[in-house]
Amino acid sequence: MTRSPQLRRLHFLNALFAPVTGQDLYLAQQIDEAISTSIGDTVDREPTDPAFVNAVAQLFEKLCADQPKHGFFHWDAGAAETGDTPLFARAGVMQGLRKLAVYPESTLLITNLRAAHCPASKRWTSRRRQNYDDSVALIRDLAAARSRRNANMNLLFL
């Protein structure tokens, strides 16, 4: 069973904006409509579309700027040509964790990690799948080890 692109977008927005919306799907739908209007959305726009992700990240960063207790960092693994290697993934994530260390609540958004490990023109192999799983585990471990014990961090992969 496949979910519609709109439903995937709503789930993504609900997860990302949960600190602001309180898990209210109606507010997530309003955010989706506002972003869609601002970037000229089509009905089938995927939540992984770079224009959509950038608009969402910019909006969430602006909302976090108004809330001094909540930090936000977006790391796009696809922006760096080496986003699929653990060394560069560590460097990108550590940059975000250093920025978020001062906040009692924070959100770390990781995008295009799957695409960095397996471009659209390639197919998933067991080695690529293992490298992807290792990268996800590395990012989770870094986030757990490098954040304050009493901090609340939302780690989202898209």
Domain ranges of the chain: 1-54, 68-158
Query: Which of 45 and 61 is assigned the larger pLDDT?
Result: 61
List, for residues 96-127, the tens digit of each pLDDT value. Answer: 999 999 999 888 988 888 888 888 888 999 99
Across 42-67, average pLDDT: 74
Global pTM value: 0.77
Contact 108, 96 (CB under 8 A): yes
Tell me the range of 20-29, 43-52, 84-93, 122-131 where mean pLDDT is highest: 122-131
Residue 1 has pLDDT above 50, yes or no: no
Which one, of 28, 26, 92, lies nearest residue 60 by Cα? 28
> What's the confidence (pLDDT) of residue 43?
47
Residue 41 has pLDDT above 60, yes or no: no
Phi, then psi, of 4 in degrees rounded to 5: -70, 155
Residue 45 has pLDDT above 50, yes or no: yes
Residue 61 has pLDDT above 60, yes or no: yes
Residue 85 has pLDDT above 80, yes or no: no
* Percent of the chain clearing pLDDT 90 (strictly above): 16
Q: Which of 56-65, 67-76, 92-101, 105-114 has the lowest mean pLDDT?
A: 56-65
> What's the confidence (pLDDT) of residue 94?
92
